[in-house]
Structure 1
């Protein structure tokens, strides 16, 4: 699929996808005869991983590290059980960091919802007082 379809499926801008290509996070699987980037389903899934990591505050280097570890696990290039376990540990560290960020975001969301509710209450009180 071409970059426009990938952008629509991933909800990423063309510019963002190109940026991720420039930084080495994702590479189009092929080019058309006209030079257009062509992506596979695996490329889309890779972009989805990146898209999910971004709001959790992961850096491009961290994204690259996780993608490298999962690529190695997927291709089973670990030379022995110890290397395989080390790759799994890297992924577990990202899982833990993601869970910690999600917990922080839940607290922030709860506070934001409390604030919005307080504003709504205030506006209703003022509207009631104005009618009296």
Structure 2
């Protein structure tokens, strides 16, 4: 096995995704192991890890598998050895900008939720501070 290849356990540790989740993303076609060992083990590269990290970051923001697939396809085309030109390049950039905008909206929503959660935690803290502490007997 080449030093540039990793088995699924190492990939799981690096991405903080479970083996089951990685296999699920394989089954849905979002990621494909780059190689297979003689013993039949899936082998991954840094590029595969980077792809899984994109998926991991998109999932909690509510992106669907189809949206993930769309963004990954656009990124693959933009990173291709012979990058697209002209109308195809512009279409890919429009798609990536769209995902950037959606992500910014998700971040803004999460900031609002975090602010509300912090306010709530503060309210609970204040309530607890108003209650006299019982003295030990």
The 3-state SS of whatever aligns with 1:97 is: helix
**TM-score under structure 2 length normalisation:** 0.90
| Structure with the higher fraction of residues in helix conformation | 1
Matched pairs, number: 129
Q: Would you say 1:110 and 2:104 are equivalent positions?
A: no
Runs of 4+ in structure 1 deviating by more than 3 angstroms, as ranges, are: none
CA RMSD of aligned residues (A): 1.2
Q: Which residue of 2 aligns with 1:66?
A: 71
- Structure 1 unmatched ranges of 5 or more: none
Question: Which of the numbers 48, 53, 75 marks the counterpart of 1:43?
Answer: 48
Distance 1:81 1:26 in 2: 28
Question: Which of the numbers 12, 31, 38 marks the counterpart of 2:36?
Answer: 31
Q: Which residue of 2 aligns with 1:14?
A: 19
Distance 1:21 1:77 in 2: 25
Deviation, 1:65, is 0.1
Q: Which residue of 2 aligns with 1:125?
A: 130
The 3-state SS of whatever aligns with 1:127 is: coil
Deviation, 1:126, is 1.0
Deviation, 1:89, is 0.5
